Amino acid sequence: MSAGKQLKPTESELEILRVLWEKGPSTVREVHEILEQSKDAGYTTTLKLMQIMHEKGLLQRDASSKTHIYAAAVSQENTQRQLLDKMIDTVFNGSASQLVLQALGNHKSSKEELEKIKQYLNEIEKQQRK
Amino acid sequence: MSAGKQLKPTESELEILRVLWEKGPSTVREVHEILEQSKDAGYTTTLKLMQIMHEKGLLQRDASSKTHIYAAAVSQENTQRQLLDKMIDTVFNGSASQLVLQALGNHKSSKEELEKIKQYLNEIEKQQRK
DNA sequence: ATTTGTTTACGAAGATATTCGTATATTCAT
DNA sequence: ATGAATATACGAATATCTTCGTAAACAAAT
């Protein structure tokens, strides 16, 4: 499976992807109006970015109507994994658990979340014993 | 407390920091020779980068002898935390445990490491009950 | 002292990412 | 049809990051 590797989105591109992951297929204006809330950029800036992302294969678009509809062409999970792997590699010297300890140490996680993580660890250990 | 905030190192800057964290205070040449093993760049490129990092406050240097000695001015842990926090924020929508699950799922961790994480989780839960 | 090798300093080219102005097309209301 | 509003396309300015050429300073060897 798998065609060519997905390339790493830039900071701005990630902001756009987040909107599309959350809201689903949207027009440039819709995306732009969300972005405007947290940063200030012109409309054509958002447009241009989304066009470039489309060229790169990060977004797909439906141009059948005058106002194009864009959607993420890469999944949130794949992108998260890609960026996370890179961070483990370049920032945590390849040690995922080092990163995990840091992450747990500096953020309040709810009891439920912690429980979920523990269960997960147990499963992994069971796997390993086999 | 807190003096001005530490600014985010770029990709290349991070490579240099990693060398200095590992080897301690070093000359440009020493750093460069390590970098050469994994990438190819000219000596003056490494020099320039380290000079810029010094200006930015990422490195400190001892210029008392002809050949300057550079050292990291930011700690590995602080930098890791900074980059990790940003990733949790921008890539994992603020959910540290989401990131943790991803990290555990996609990397083999040794039994010892997993055990360490579990102990840590227990401690956190103990804290929370208080 | 002159040459040779190593170092820093400086400036600028090249690459990539971000921003926006302007032109052109389309739609809709009048 | 004309004008106002909104969309896309395009090109280019700006900013940031990365790279390196070249010159000047210095040190060591001959």
Q: How confident is the model over A5-54, as pLDDT tens digits?
A: 788 999 999 999 999 999 999 999 999 999 999 999 999 999 999 999 99
A112/B contact by beta carbon, under 8 A: no
pLDDT higher at B53 or A107: B53
Closest residue (Cα, C1') to C16:
A10
Interchain contact, A120 vs B101, CB within 8 Å: yes
- Per-residue pLDDT, averaged over B36-43, amounts to 93
In order of their start, the domains of chain B are: 11-72 (1.10.10.10), 76-129 (no CATH)
The confidence score (pLDDT) of residue A4 equals 62
Percent residues over pLDDT 90 in chain B: 66
Phi, then psi, of A5 in degrees rounded to 5? -70, 145
The C-alpha angle B54, B59, B60, rounded to 5 degrees, equals 90
pLDDT of amino acid A2:
43
Look at residue B54 in the predicted model and tell me its pLDDT.
Answer: 97
**B62: which strand partners?**
B69
Q: State residue B81's pLDDT score.
A: 94
CA A87, CA A89: separation in Å to the nearest integer? 5
Angle made by CA atoms A120, A114, A100, in degrees to the nearest 5: 75
pLDDT at B108 over 80: no
Assembly ipTM: 0.86
